[in-house]
Amino acid sequence: MIADLPPLLIVVFGVLLGFALGSFTTCVVYRIPRGLSIWRNDKASAAYRSFCPQCRSVLTARDLLPVLSWLMLRGRCRHCGNPIGVSYVVIEIAVVIMTVIIVGHYGISITAIILCAMLPVLAGLWSFFVLKPRP
C-alpha cells in the first residue's frame, strides 16, 4: 500500500519530515550547549517554546516555518530586529536534503524511519564541529 504511493508524494513527505527534523535539530543545537531543556519548562530553560536568543520573545507559528520564516524576516527577529545566524538555516536545509535522499532511496519504511531518526544527532554533531553556530 505505501509502496504504491506516487514518487512525488514520497518526496513531499520527505521534505516535510526533513523540515520538522531540521527545526528540531536547530533547537537542540541552540539549547544543549547552554544547558537548556528541550522537553520541559523549568527554571533552567526559561521557556520550552522557541524564543529569540537576544530579546527572549516567544516565537509564534508564523516565525517557526523552517527556512521560509528566516527568508521572510530577512534573517532577523520579528520582535527586536537582531540577526538570526545563517548556520541554523544551513542545518535545516542539510537535514531536508538528507531526509529526501533517505526517503527517496528507502521509501516510507522502517529503515528510512530509523535513518531519519538519527539525522538530528548527526546534523547536531556536524554543526557543533563544522558550523559552530552562534545566537
Task: Quote the pTM value.
Answer: 0.80
Phi, psi (degrees; rounded to nearest 5) at 47 = -155, 135
Amino acid letter for position 38: I
pLDDT in the model for residue 45 = 46
State CA 2 to chain mean position distance: 26
- 35 or 112: which carries more pLDDT confidence? 112
pLDDT tens profile 52-69: 888 888 888 888 888 888
Instruction: Give the CA diameter of the chain.
Output: 49
Q: Identify the residue whose cell numbers are 527568508.
A: 71
Give every CB contact of residue 12 below 8 A, 6+ residues apart in sequence.
none
Query: pLDDT category, 99, cuts 50, 70, 90?
Result: very high
> C-alpha grid cell for residue 84?
538570526
pLDDT tens profile 118-133: 988 888 787 777 766 5
Would you tell me the crossing angle of helices 86-106 and 110-126 to the nearest 10 degrees? 160
Q: From CA 100, how far away is CA 105, in angstroms rounded? A: 8
Q: Identify the residue whose cell numbers are 528510512.
A: 112
pLDDT in the model for residue 123 = 81
Across the range 14-31, mean pLDDT stands at: 87
